[in-house]
Amino acid sequence: MMLKIGELASKTDVSHHTLRFYERQGLIAPAGRSDSGYRLYSDLDVDRVGFILSAKKVGFTLLEIQQLLELEITKDDNSCGDVKCFVDKKISAVNQRMLEMKRIKKSLQALSKACCGGSVPATQCTILEALSEQKN
């Protein structure tokens, strides 16, 4: 019933290095310790690693996951609105980054389009010229 770190590692496919790293980051702590100081994890801890992995898959950072876990643990004192708000803020941040990436993509495509791409020397390459242009 209690797992040592190596067992948890193979069960969750998270390395023991990473599990200890998550512990230092305050994401997970073993349910107890053996007499010799070995970490001992319970089934709840296994679930917790699952939560962390799920949250990572949807793009949350470790800090955000820490906050989500806090919400989870104290969920009786939090409302659905609190949790949804947390997710919606993340959606906004993701949207922001996507807009920036779209801008970048368009700029790059414009550069690519203007370049002949031939085997002629790049002496007059429009890409290099565009990047060299002074915007004063």
Interface residues with Zn ion (CB under 5 A) are: 80, 83, 115-116, 125
Q: Which residues of 82-92 are buried (b: 16+ CB within 10 A; e: fewer)?
A: eeeebeeebee
Nearer to Zn ion by C-beta: 66 or 78? 78
95 binds, among Zn ion, DNA, its own copies, none (CB under 5 to 8 A by kind): its own copies
Class of residue 48 by CB neighbours under 10 A (exposed 0-12, middle 13-18, buried 19+): buried
Residues 6+ apart with CB under 8 A from 8: 14, 16, 19, 41, 45, 46, 49
What mask of x and - would describe binding to its own copies in positions 22 to 51, judged by CB under 8 A?
-------------------------x--xx
Task: Give, as one character, the DSSP assignment of residue 58.
Answer: T
The nearest distance, CB 113 to Zn ion, in angstroms, is 10
**Interacting residues toward its own copies by CB under 8 A:** 47, 50-51, 54-55, 57-59, 68, 71-72, 75-85, 87-88, 90-91, 94-95, 97-98, 101-102, 104-105, 107-109, 111-112, 115-123, 125, 127-128, 130-135
